[in-house]
Chains A and B, each alone.
Chain A
Amino acid sequence: MMLILLTLIFITMRVIPGDPIKAMYGEKITEEFVLNMRKQLGLDKPMYLQYVDFMNGVFTGNLGKSFWTNRAVLEHISYAFPVTIELTIAGMALSILIGIPLGVVSALKKNKVPDYLIRVFSLAGFSMPVFFLGQILQYELGVQLQWFPIQGRYNPSLTPPLITHFITIDSLLTGNFNVFLDSLSHLLLPALVLASWISALISRISRANMLEVLNEDYILTARAKGLREIIVISKHAFRNAILPLFTIAGLCFALLLGGAVLTESVFSLEGMGKLLIDAVFRRDYPIIQGCVVVFALSVVVITTVVDIVYAFLDPRVKF
């Protein structure tokens, strides 16, 4: 899958008609400049050699140098990637914490008031553009009520330790709880914005799964045995209803990454999204390509991990 995805990226970025250099610099540039740029990027070589170069670069971690800063693309990514992953994981955690309980309650109260409210909420969450919700929360909770910091990853007066570039992990490793709490408070708002979107999806799916499971014969059996309702729900129904959620974890992750690009832009986080968008405006082709490759790789890694974990959790799945 990784090879297919990388090949697809290569094809999209190199083979489809349209010259990235012309698209990026406009039509007014000289032929000489185009040739020069093509040479610098290795775009003048035959297609199969470009493909070999590209794959070679991906697997040796040599993604080229940024046009803008002349530093290695990988170096830029090593700063930006942790920001995005931190945000994505926090977003995912909140989505699960909000989404699953809502879905379960909604299923248990099917066609009653709580169910309708939750369904309207999840529809609204899914229809709300993250950048709109982000701005509203920033203004209401950040500027008006001053509950949360509105942008960045930490208070500029603090100097966070840098080991892995994951601020939350680094501060814990060095035992610096002030920085840890501060970075969490910075993370909460953007993660909440992302979660409003994904939790809507999760609550819908867990509602549907739960309803399906509640109709199964073994639930009837459990009830007939005289088990208390709470045991039936939590032990018999809940587990079987929630397990299939794992299969959409990969999809959620992809959605979160896409949403993270927008959320980072709203909250001025220096993550992959910011790196990518800045690169687009600075016409920094190697960075754009590097970001897309990293997105692809992380999706592949996550999907694989999810599959493996799922096989452990659900003994019926065999490879």
Chain B
Amino acid sequence: MSGRFRKFLAQHQKSTVLTFFIGSLIVLTIIFMAVLAPIISPYDPLELGVRAFKPPDEKNPLGTDTVGRDVLSRTIWGSRASLMVAFISILISITIGSLLGSMVGYVGGTLDRMITSVVDALYAFPTYIFALMIVVILGPQVLNIAMAVGVSFIPQYYRVVRSIVLSIKERLFIESEKALGASSLYIVRQHILPYAISSIIVLMSMGIADSILTVAGLGFLGIGIQPPTPEWGTDMRFGRDVFLIGGWWVSVAPGIMIFLSVMGFNLFGEGLNALFQERGGQYGA
């Protein structure tokens, strides 16, 4: 064990370190799975096997689905769709939410009141139904789904970033920058956003978890990523018809993957948040 690592352990609570490491482990595994999908998956996820709806055996460790595709391969490939949509949607919501939140929070006044009341109204509306509504209007293409989820998450980031900005904009160092003639844009970019960055990273990790769950939910209802593209939620939709007659193997693997990846990103975010807090940084969610 290197000295640095020992110091890290000594600085933080055991549970924090554990949370962070388990979280990172899961997150890294899933990312590797997505990247290495063509190498590690035994079959083509779209290829029809010999027999449909076959229980697990040596050839197909997780069996085949209702049309004969290998469940293991589809589950591995499914991580790509989930992660891709999650990352794109988070980028959308983080960028718009934090930029809007920091600018509006900094400027304040009537603009702040107006935009905040709109965002608050949106915040009260069920995210899931809002995303669903946008997908219905735009059509269920991958980018549209990412956009729908991204837009529906904007209020969360807006609110957090705005409250951070409000808490620091009256500080003296901001005052002195103003006195030196710095522009608002400069202050927000140079002083306020870096200050909020730890909270944003934490929120991002938890946001990815939320987003994976939302995308899978849309898929399960049949308005997410369209078949035959492998996606966990969509695959579970097809496993659903056979689940109650004992065909658990079609749904269980994608279900566990959704569960694990959501938990992984949540743990990672939570661990990160605790690490930041123990170092005396900003508070996250």
Contact = CB atoms under 8 A, between A and B. Distances in A.
Contacts of A255: 126
B121 A265 contact: no
A4 interface: yes
A128 interface: yes
Interface string B126-144: 1111101110111100000
Interface string A110-126: 01000010000001101
Contacts of B122: 5, 8
Contact of B258 (A12, A111, A129): A129
Interface stretch (A35-43, A57-65, A68-76, A293-301): A293-301
A8 B130 CA distance: 11
A129 B215 CA distance: 11
Contacts of B56: none
A261 B221 contact: yes
A284 B134 CA distance: 15
Nearest to A257: B126
A262 B122 CA distance: 21
B87 interface: no
A111 B133 CA distance: 43
B63 interface: no
A165 B240 CA distance: 29
Given A8-B122, A255-B126, A277 B223 contact: yes
Contacts of B216: 129
A135 interface: yes
B138 A128 contact: no
A111 B15 contact: yes
Interface in A120-167: 123-124, 126-132, 135-136, 138-139, 142-143, 150
A261 B128 contact: yes
A142 B125 CA distance: 33
Nearest to A292: B133
Interface stretch (B1-9, B69-77, B181-189, B243-251): B243-251
Contact of A18 (B139, B223, B244, B259): B139
B244 A261 contact: no
A131 B220 contact: yes
Nearest to B216: A129
A5 B126 CA distance: 12
Q: Interface size class for chain A?
A: 35 or more
B244 A150 contact: yes
B230 interface: no
A273 to B, nearest CB: 8
- Majority DSSP secondary structure for residues of B touching A: helix
A12 B222 contact: no
Contacts of B138: 16, 18, 23
A202 interface: no
Contacts of A300: 124
A1 B125 CA distance: 11
B251 A135 contact: yes
A131 B236 contact: yes
A127 B209 contact: yes
A281 interface: yes
A139 B243 contact: yes
A5 B217 contact: no
Nearest to B127: A258
Given A299-B124, A300-B124, 17 more contacts: A12-B137, A23-B136, A126-B262, A127-B259, A127-B260, A129-B220, A129-B262, A135-B243, A135-B244, A138-B243, A254-B126, A259-B128, A261-B129, A265-B221, A276-B132, A280-B132, A288-B136
24 contacts: A1-B120, A1-B124, A9-B133, A12-B134, A13-B133, A123-B266, A123-B270, A128-B262, A129-B262, A131-B220, A132-B236, A132-B251, A139-B248, A254-B124, A258-B129, A262-B128, A262-B220, A276-B132, A280-B223, A288-B133, A295-B126, A296-B125, A299-B124, A303-B124
Interface of B: 15, 117-118, 120-122, 124-130, 132-134, 136-139, 209, 213, 216-217, 220-223, 233, 236, 240, 243-244, 248, 251, 255, 258-260, 262-263, 266-267, 270
The 4 closest A-B pairs by CB, nearest first: A258-B128, A132-B255, A127-B263, A258-B126
